[in-house]
């Protein structure tokens, strides 16, 4: 924690009270408690962001979003799944679909080919992301019109 931001309750007391030893001790106890509160608030703030949430927070969001795990996901994979599900709201555009894939798989782990004239969509996954093929197939089915061809 930044020294400038460290709690120092004694400065809030009037000077004639701040000079009393008992109030100095009380201020030290309050300072320690405020540090604990601030650490907990920082942790809670980190859990509000998909990229920095803890495993317990991931479990909470997976339950809400009904995300089924295979058991092989790392914490980073779980964060991406949650983030991908969060950003996968309709209506889809090709840019939105790419954002969803970026969030779920990672930009470097897939190749996307879209040809609207031929009604063709192809998503090629790298080996590291192949475990998410079910999620991606479901997204493709939601995004595409029934007359399009699906390839995964």
What are the boundaries of each domain within the chain?
3-47, 70-151
Could you read off the pLDDT of 54-101 as tens digits, one per residue?
A: 999 999 988 988 888 878 888 988 888 888 778 766 656 778 778 878
Structural tokens at position 46: 């980190």
| pLDDT of residue 24 exceeding 80 | yes
Distance of CA 150 to the CA centre of its chain: 29
Could you read off the pLDDT of 39-49 as tens digits, one per residue?
A: 999 889 988 88
Q: Are 84 and 112 in contact (CB under 8 A)?
A: no
According to the model, what pLDDT value does residue 70 have? Answer: 79
CA distance 27 to 70: 51
pLDDT grade, residue 7 (50/70/90)? confident
CA distance 150 to 129: 18
More confident residue, 140 or 69: 69
Distance of CA 54 to the CA centre of its chain: 9
Structural tokens at position 79: 């964060």
Could you read off the pLDDT of 88-131 as tens digits, one per residue?
A: 666 567 787 788 788 777 888 888 888 878 877 788 888 776 77
According to the model, what pLDDT value does residue 109 have? Answer: 82
């Amino acid at each position: 924690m930044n020294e400038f931001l460290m709690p120092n309750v004694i400065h809030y007391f009037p000077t004639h009270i701040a000079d009393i030893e008992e109030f100095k001790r009380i201020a030290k106890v309050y300072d320690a408690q405020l540090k604990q509160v601030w650490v907990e608030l920082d942790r809670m703030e980190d859990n509000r962001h998909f990229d920095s949430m803890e495993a317990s927070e991931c479990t909470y969001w997976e339950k809400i979003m009904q995300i089924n795990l295979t058991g092989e996901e790392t914490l980073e994979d779980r964060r991406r799944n949650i983030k991908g599900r969060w950003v996968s709201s309709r209506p889809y555009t090709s840019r939105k679909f790419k954002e969803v894939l970026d969030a779920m798989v990672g930009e470097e782990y897939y190749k996307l080919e879209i040809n609207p004239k031929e009604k063709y969509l192809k998503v090629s996954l790298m080996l590291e992301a192949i475990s998410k093929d079910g999620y991606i197939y479901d997204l493709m089915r939601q995004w595409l019109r029934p007359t399009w061809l699906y390839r995964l």
